[in-house]
């Protein structure tokens, strides 16, 4: 006799879940491609992709195949053993990037935690404990662990959790002179997002990233690129560092890396990775066979030149449509984007109202996101079908009309 499934609603969240989120009124139950359906059967076009996670859309057949095949073989082993999917994925990432070594974990925050620990350990090994200072940028976001919120450049995320780890300072994003002034022989690392995502979709300048690389070399510090949001095809390159031609010593990846299955990774050169000797760091579920099998399938697709070229083509179409909508409704003062990481800055007339467009989007059957109160953010599937994008753009305009009409 089959067990009945208990009915749950949005109200159930308030009853049983810790209130650190305030989810939308709808509950998605099915997704295919860039379409999602809620409990009532209403359809939505998804321009969020789980915040840059579902980069191949929902229920991609290659990912389903990898999950089912691996699920029939081996789900989990302790890290006193290795496994074939983890080794295949690590080799693939090494072959595709600057890196020589890979560490697997479960999320972007964990990948950044590993990177931050590694850079301090490396400096300790090569110089001593006095070389421990980490420089980050204001407006950055590096995760929610105590270490990563301390390094992140948004004070609101660490409020109430002090005292936080010391030896961390911040400079304005894209301000090379400020970075120069902050560097010293005590600096062990500089960490930067090539494009600030949560901070409002602000791309780094070529001068800033190249300058950071040069300064790290000058002071014997390591350069860390947080590519949690920008990596695995989002910018039209497998990783954004390739777009700039600036190579870090350590790179972090998650989100799209698993195409929706939780996985994170820290990539590093041989020289730096050597400081993580046996026992210095670990993760119970890191390198899980299920996650690595799905991730390998995702990377196989997202590293294809034709898929990466398709990101640029889709971005051109979507940005042109958003520019047109913005002009006709006096909506956007600026549209910033690199590939399909798009931030639409609202005009003064709609200041602090980004969330209203998201709510109107749900009403019109389209999923949108924000990057702060003044930026509407779009991060759709990198393989979004042409008809889905066209219909989604139509619904975005309907959502805009709702908000503008209510003004």
How distant, in Å, are the alpha carbons of 125, 184, 275, 281, 312 from that of 132?
A: 11, 11, 14, 18, 40
Cα separation of the two ends of the chain? 55
Domain chopping of the chain, boundaries: 10-60+305-406, 74-302
Please say whether the beta carbons of 209 and 175 come within 8 A: no
Residue 32: beta bridge partners?
35
Secondary structure letter of residue 173 according to DSSP: T
Which residue from 176, 145, 137 is spatially nearest to 161, judged by alpha carbons?
145
Question: What is the predicted pLDDT for the residue at 1?
Answer: 38
Nearest to 297 by CA among 257, 266, 238, 264: 257
Residue 348: phi and psi, rounded to 5, are -55, -35
Helices 84-96 and 289-302 sit at what angle, rounded to 10 degrees?
Answer: 30
C-beta separation of 62 from 383 below 8 A: no
Looking at residue 158, what is its pLDDT?
A: 87
- Decide if 297 contacts 259 (C-beta within 8 A): yes
What is the rounded CA–CA span in Å between residue 114 and residue 252?
Answer: 9
Tokens of residue 107, six digits: 């999320």
Query: What does the pLDDT read at residue 3?
Result: 56
Helix 289-302 vs helix 61-71: crossing angle, to nearest 10: 150
CA distance 231 to 210: 19
d(Cα 394, Cα 368) in Å, to the nearest integer?
13
Architecture (CATH level 2) of domain 10-60+305-406: Alpha-Beta Complex (3.90)
- Distance, in Å, from the CA atom of 118 to the CA atom of 140, rounded to the nearest integer, reads 20
- Name the class of domain 74-302: alpha beta
Long-range contacts of 29-33 (CB under 8 A, 24+ apart): 30/58, 31/57, 31/58, 31/59, 32/57, 32/58, 32/59, 33/57, 33/58, 33/59, 33/381, 33/384, 33/385, 33/388
Query: What H or E segment, with its residue span, contains residue 12?
Result: helix 10-16
Please tell me the distance from the alpha carbon of residue 84 to that of residue 175, in angstroms, as a whole number.
Answer: 44
Residue with tokens 């990198």: 382
Other Cβ atoms within 10 Å of 96 Cβ, number? 14
Q: For residues 367 and 25, what is the distance between their CA atoms, to the nearest angstrom?
A: 13
Mean pLDDT by 10 residues, the chain (407 residues): 72 91 92 97 97 97 97 94 97 98 97 97 97 96 92 89 92 98 98 94 97 98 98 97 97 97 98 96 94 98 97 97 96 96 96 96 97 95 97 97 83
203 beta partners: 195
- What global pTM score does this model have? 0.94
């Amino acid at each position: 006799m089959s067990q009945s499934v208990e009915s749950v609603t949005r109200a159930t969240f308030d009853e049983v879940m810790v209130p650190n989120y305030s989810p939308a009124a709808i509950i998605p139950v099915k997704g295919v491609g860039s379409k999602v359906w809620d409990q009532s059967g209403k359809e939505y076009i998804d321009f969020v992709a789980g915040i840059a996670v579902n980069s191949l859309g929902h229920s991609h057949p290659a990912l389903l195949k990898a999950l089912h095949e691996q699920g029939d073989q081996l789900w989990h082993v302790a890290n006193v053993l290795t496994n074939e999917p983890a080794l295949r994925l690590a080799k693939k990432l090494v072959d595709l990037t600057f890196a020589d070594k890979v560490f697997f974990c479960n999320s972007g925050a964990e990948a950044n935690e590993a990177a931050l620990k590694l850079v301090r350990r490396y400096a300790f090994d090569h110089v001593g404990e006095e070389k421990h200072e980490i420089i980050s940028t204001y407006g950055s976001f590096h995760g929610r662990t105590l270490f990563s919120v301390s390094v992140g450049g948004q004070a609101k995320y660490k409020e109430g959790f002090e005292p936080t780890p010391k030896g961390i300072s911040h400079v304005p994003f894209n301000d090379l002179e400020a970075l120069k002034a902050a560097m010293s022989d005590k600096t062990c690392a500089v960490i930067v997002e090539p494009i600030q995502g949560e901070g409002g979709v602000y791309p780094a300048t070529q001068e800033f990233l190249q300058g950071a690389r040069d300064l790290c070399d000058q002071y014997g510090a390591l350069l860390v690129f947080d590519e949690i949001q920008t990596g695995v095809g989002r910018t039209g390159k497998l990783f954004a560092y390739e777009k700039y031609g600036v190579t870090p010593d350590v790179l972090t990846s998650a989100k799209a890396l698993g195409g929706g299955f939780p996985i994170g990774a820290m990539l590093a050169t041989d020289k730096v990775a050597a400081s993580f000797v046996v026992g210095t760091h670990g993760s119970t579920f890191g390198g899980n066979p299920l996650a690595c099998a799905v991730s390998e399938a995702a990377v196989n697709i997202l590293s294809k030149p034709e898929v990466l070229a398709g990101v640029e083509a889709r971005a051109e179409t979507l940005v042109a449509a958003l520019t047109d909508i913005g002009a006709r409704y006096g909506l956007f003062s600026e549209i910033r984007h690199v590939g399909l990481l798009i931030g639409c800055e609202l005009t003064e007339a709609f200041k602090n109202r980004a969330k209203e467009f998201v709510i109107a989007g749900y009403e019109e059957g389209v999923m949108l996101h924000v990057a702060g109160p003044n930026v509407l953010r779009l991060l759709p599937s990198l393989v979004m079908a042409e008809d889905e994008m066209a219909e989604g753009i139509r619904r975005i305009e309907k959502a805009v009309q709702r908000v503008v009409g209510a003004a």
